[in-house]
Chains A and B, each alone.
Chain A
Amino acid sequence: MSKNFFEVKNVDFNVSNKIKVKNVTFSIENEGDVICLLGPSGIGKTTILRTIAGLEKIKKGSIILNGKTLSSEKVNLEPEDRNVSLAFQDNSLFPHYTVEKNILLGSERNKEKKEKKINLKEIVDLLDIFHILNKYPHEISAGEAQRASLARSLITQPDLLLLDEPLSNVDQSFKEEIQVRLKKILHKLKITTIIVTHDSYEAFYLGSKCGIILNQELKQFDDPYKVYHLPNSVEVVNFLNRGILVPAKVTGKNTLENWDLGTIEGNFIKEYPKGSNVQLLLQPEDLEHDDTSNLKLEVVDRKFRGTNFIYTLKTPSNTLIPVFVHSHHIHQHEVDEKFGIKRPIHIDHIVCF
């Protein structure tokens, strides 16, 4: 028997006999772990959740929860027999019941089996939905409906909780606070959870592991830090959209040379033979600003992001490079001005393709 709490092995996820994501393998080691699946819209993230919940069938591979096969080519446990809860992205509250009754319907599941780790009041407080308890789903906002739906799923205390874009309709101002509360509650209840989202910050914050789904495949499944800093493919780099690839030549064990930036040193993630030509990943935080440096590039754009600026610089070979500068930096550079880059350039982990 496998030691992992939850496993997806070589599964093709399909909708109406059309493969959406193929040959997916990942696992959740411990009960209570939270993982996130990240990918662009329409890529099949929801299909994965629906299949795990038992709403879609599989023809290849197997899905195993706590040693029990939920789905395989031969087995297909009905959704009601899985003890897996799915909170849909769109409002799926029962329209003819109040929010309170909706949530209480959730608490009927497992009412005999498990000790109550959380009650209605706690969940209502945590998700701040007290004021809508007596309202009907059509009387509340999309964000409130999403929180109510989340409350209903949480109160069932399932073996596996699946959240499909759980906070996509929640106001931006309130989102971070709810994220914090959600993380706390999942930790407290020790509910194993898979969250699907297209928001990388949400995924990095909530998940102990992140899976990136692109082009019908699970491209990378790793902890958030590694997914961000050590992407394993050009597709993942492009998807996270936080860096660019520049041509470089490996010149030593810890160095490489770029035509525009000169020598770059750091720790290679993967070994490359000296002299080989590679594509080096440059992320905005890899280069440091230095007014005194003699390596000057032209500013073509400046984005203010609150805590920081991201300058886009043009190299002599017309490559556009993003550079991160703290917004409290003593002065700002205008477009067309020159911008100094600190030398020698040192990158903690050198990622090349």
Chain B
Amino acid sequence: MRINFWYISSFVISLFVIIPILTVFSSFFESTSNYYQVLKDTFLMEYIFNSLILLVSVLLLTFLIGTGSAYLVSFYNFPFSNFFKWALILSFAVPPYIYAYSLTAFFENYGTAYTILKNLFGEGNYNQNIPKFDGLLGVVLSISFSLYAYVYILARASFLYQSQNIIDLGKNLGFTKFKAFYSIILPAARPAIVAGLSLVAMETLAEFGAVDFFSINTLTTGIYNSWIAFDDLAFANQLSFFLLLFIFALFILENLSRKNAKYHFNARSGFKQKQKIQLSGKKAFLAFFFCFLVLFLSFLFPLSQMMYWTIKFPENLFDLNTLDLLTNTLYLVILSSLMLIVFGLVSNYGNRVNKDKTLNILSTLSISGYAIPGVILAVAFITFIAWFDDSVVKNLGFISIKKVFIGSILGLVLVYFIRFYSLAYNGIKSGYEKINISVDESSYLLGYSKRKTFMNIHIPFLRNSLLFIGILVSLEIIRELPITLILRPFNFETFATTAYISASEDLLEAAAVPSLFLILIATFFIIVTSKYILRDNNE
């Protein structure tokens, strides 16, 4: 094994990301407080039950919405199908907690729904007839409509790469459209759909804002409480460890059920571009209606609710230091995304050129950060810095480094980096998987060094993927709540924290303005890059 620049870079990056993750796992062996006993005797079963129900419901709903809409826009032409193709990813702009604010604002007693009915039909006792989407149902809807786009994007990309040949084969075997979808198209897209669902699962179990807003007790709440109320970090970590085991078990099971089936397309056998089917009449209307409903519920509804409140209570707009919030948010986003893209890229390339087992294991471990709830990661980071400062830095006679990392932009960006590293790393990795290794070899044989191959061949090839990952990561950072809440410097606010603080003080109207800005910035990001996202998919 020849140690080179790429090996060392990749090694150091992975190691850095692993440290706080290891801190979480090492706490597993520490003794816990009485909280465990208290919880076991009281709410533990409720936490587990709620988490399970939440997870299963969200997975089911995101699967139906994400796969269904992806199927329609990938295989059929109907009115506005080209518009929906990118518009359906706009839901990314609305984080679950803002969706939760919108649901409450619309359906609560004397809320927006009531106002609409009153304006249409005059005064009346409508409150008892307006359904209430709060509690567990509210959380499920908030998370599902916000996160289905993960499944949508990945399923759509997979559908696009399906060759007309396999669809023709289905026709040749006499399959109906439903049968072809069920037995050919869906199984072929299975890995992509599962990848999307796994992201949804991790986000759901780590979700803090919406769960907290609707006061639902889940394992995540348990984790938060054990740290905040009982100061029992070890038990918090143990709970999150079980959470992780649960997710892993789910996906190992899925993996085993695949057995030896192969899902990737064999490029040598020839790819035939798909012909989209033109829908007309009732079918076209139904396809349009389904996509419009998804777009309306996931994006237009929360957007208009937040707009309505902003217009209704304009004083909140003037009370807010919008420019500061915008600068702070963008500052964090740009810094973190750049760092994630650059280091994710270097680490991937290091793994690719070295093909070293140790490096591979280290990288695999390093991407588990995404599955660890932000709360835990932030606390683990503080714990590690405190330990490092006390046991190493001070012993060596240096001044304390706590202030450099805790309550600072640097600390915040570093924890974002750890939290979203797997997103960047895996995203770039999937881009890399499209580059056959013989492309690298051809480049070497044309006299290009490893650095030149990286700069001149890989980066241009991955350009669109990188932009896509950059946007995905940016969206995550714009929406991120618990890490920002815990680690931000004093008096440093973003749109997300401002919205959260207002909502937790029961000032939902005030939360509308930062929420609206958050949605608008995220929407702008999505619109600007949507053509690249789609071009990346070979369209």
Contact = CB atoms under 8 A, between A and B. Distances in A.
Interface of A: 50, 53-55, 78-80, 83-86, 88, 90, 92-97, 105-106, 108-110, 138, 142, 149, 152-153, 156
B460 interface: yes
A54 B444 CA distance: 9
Contacts of A110: 447
Given A88-B438, A90-B268, A95 B446 contact: no
Contact of B446 (A105, A138, A142): A105
B448 interface: yes
Interface in B139-187: none
Top 6 A-B pairs ranked by shortest CB distance?
A: A79-B444, A92-B438, A109-B447, A96-B461, A92-B442, A80-B444
Contact of A80 (B435, B448, B460): B448
Contact of A94 (B268, B434, B444, B457): B457
A92 B441 contact: yes
B449 A80 contact: yes
B290 interface: no
A86 B439 contact: no
Contacts of A79: 441, 444-445
A83 B441 CA distance: 13
Contacts of B441: 50, 53, 55, 79, 86, 88, 92
Given A96-B461, A109-B447, A90 B442 contact: no
B436 interface: yes
A149 B438 CA distance: 12
Nearest to B435: A95
B271 interface: yes
A113 to B, nearest CB: 10
Given A88-B438, A138-B271, A94 B461 contact: yes
Interface residues of B, number: 19
Contacts of A138: 271
Contacts of A90: 268, 438
Q: Is the interface of B mostly helix, strand, loop or mixed?
A: helix
Most central of B442, B444, B448, B449 by chain A CB within 10 Å? B442
B446 A92 contact: no
Interface string B430-456: 000011101101111111110000000
Interface in B400-454: 434-436, 438-439, 441-449
Contacts of A106: 446
13 contacts: A53-B441, A79-B444, A80-B446, A80-B449, A85-B446, A86-B441, A88-B438, A93-B442, A96-B460, A96-B461, A108-B447, A153-B445, A156-B447
A223 to B, nearest CB: 29
Interface in B306-340: none
Nearest to A162: B445
B439 A108 contact: no
B292 to A, nearest CB: 34
Given A108-B446, A138-B271, 19 more contacts: A55-B444, A78-B449, A79-B441, A83-B447, A85-B445, A86-B442, A88-B438, A88-B442, A92-B439, A92-B442, A93-B442, A94-B443, A94-B457, A95-B435, A95-B439, A96-B461, A97-B460, A106-B446, A149-B442
A156 B439 contact: no
B384 to A, nearest CB: 39
A84 B446 contact: no
A55 B444 CA distance: 9
A150 B495 CA distance: 56
B271 A94 contact: no
B444 A78 contact: yes
B537 to A, nearest CB: 13
Contacts of A95: 434-435, 439, 461
Contacts of A54: 444
Contacts of A109: 446-447
Most central of A50, A54, A86 by chain B CB within 10 Å? A86
Contacts of B438: 88, 90, 92
A23 B236 CA distance: 62
B445 A86 contact: yes
Contacts of B461: 94-96
B446 A156 contact: yes
Nearest to B464: A96
Contacts of A78: 444, 449
Contacts of B444: 54-55, 78-80
A83 B447 CA distance: 7
A92 B447 contact: no
Contact of A84 (B439, B445, B457): B445
A149 B457 CA distance: 16
Contacts of B446: 80, 85, 105-106, 108-109, 152, 156
